Amino acid sequence: MIGVLIVDDDFMVAKVHAGFIAALDGFEVVGSASTGGQALEDIARLKPDLVLLDVYLPDMTGLDVLRRLRAAGSSADVIVISAARDVDSIRSALHGGVLHYLVKPFDRRTFEARLRDYAALRGELAALGEAAQPDVDRMFGMLRGGPQPIATPKGITPETLELVRQALEAAGPEGLSATECSAHTGLARVSARRYLEQLMADQEADVRQRYGTAGRPERRFTLRSPRRRG
């Protein structure tokens, strides 16, 4: 479960947000704070995964809370939820490493979409041992409001690339030759080789030469960092 701390000085707003969160699978409200001082104490005590942080608080701004969190080395993720629309607030939030900035008022669908994006991002980070550039692009795309299409070269489709990636993962440290990959995926040998070489270009796969007793050496491809399945 993803633990969420709600920080808002309006009791009814906090209650509404808590209701939204309770309806989402995989999330739970671990606490609610109405002041910046209480928020800092609750974050240190409850160690939430995610903080929903208002900017306008009675004792300090939410941005002050954010700065103190970062100075203290807190690992809590933060999404700002506020009526503050000024550029300075948005810039300060960005500098503080917030994952998103929701401007009040907003609808429930937008709220839930941002939290689902966050859950998906956590899942991606947990599943990857080492990220290649397409993985990084996809994860940062989630922060912009949903997974973005993966850009691939002409003639390379993301679906087939994933099929080849899975075949390499299943092969383990022994890897696959282009011929073996063709047999496992149903692709033509020349197509299998193109996709294997694309994984190399994306820094997701390595290749080595294996020498037999006769004939030309065989090129074997291995997945660089097999992804753990949840």
Mean pLDDT score, 21-47: 95
Question: What confidence score (pLDDT) does residue 230 get?
Answer: 39
Question: What confidence score (pLDDT) does residue 147 get?
Answer: 44
Question: What confidence score (pLDDT) does residue 146 get?
Answer: 46
Question: Where in the sequence of the chain do the CATH 1.10.10.10 domains occur?
Answer: 158-223
What is the tens place of the pLDDT at every residue in 61-70? 999 999 999 9
2-129 in CATH: which number? 3.40.50.2300
What is the tens place of the pLDDT at every residue in 172-200? 888 999 999 999 999 999 999 999 998 88
Name the CATH topology of 158-223.
Arc Repressor Mutant, subunit A (1.10.10)
Mean pLDDT score, 137-151: 57
Question: Where in the sequence of the chain do the CATH 3.40.50.2300 domains occur?
Answer: 2-129
What is the tens place of the pLDDT at every residue in 152-167? 566 788 778 888 989 9
Local structure of residue 173 (DSSP, 8 states): G
Question: What confidence score (pLDDT) does residue 153 get?
Answer: 66
Binning pLDDT at 50, 70 and 90, where does residue 135 land?
Answer: low
How many beta carbons lie within 10 A of that of residue 110, not counting itself? 13
User: pTM of the prediction?
Assistant: 0.61
Question: What confidence score (pLDDT) does residue 142 get?
Answer: 62
In the chain, the percentage of residues whose pLDDT exceeds 70 is 84
Contacts of 75 (CB under 8 A, 6+ apart): none
Residue 53's SS3 state is: strand
Question: What confidence score (pLDDT) does residue 69 get?
Answer: 94
Mean pLDDT score, 131-147: 64
Binning pLDDT at 50, 70 and 90, where does residue 228 land?
Answer: very low
Distance of alpha carbon 73 from alpha carbon 68, whole angstroms: 9
Distance of alpha carbon 114 from alpha carbon 146, whole angstroms: 8
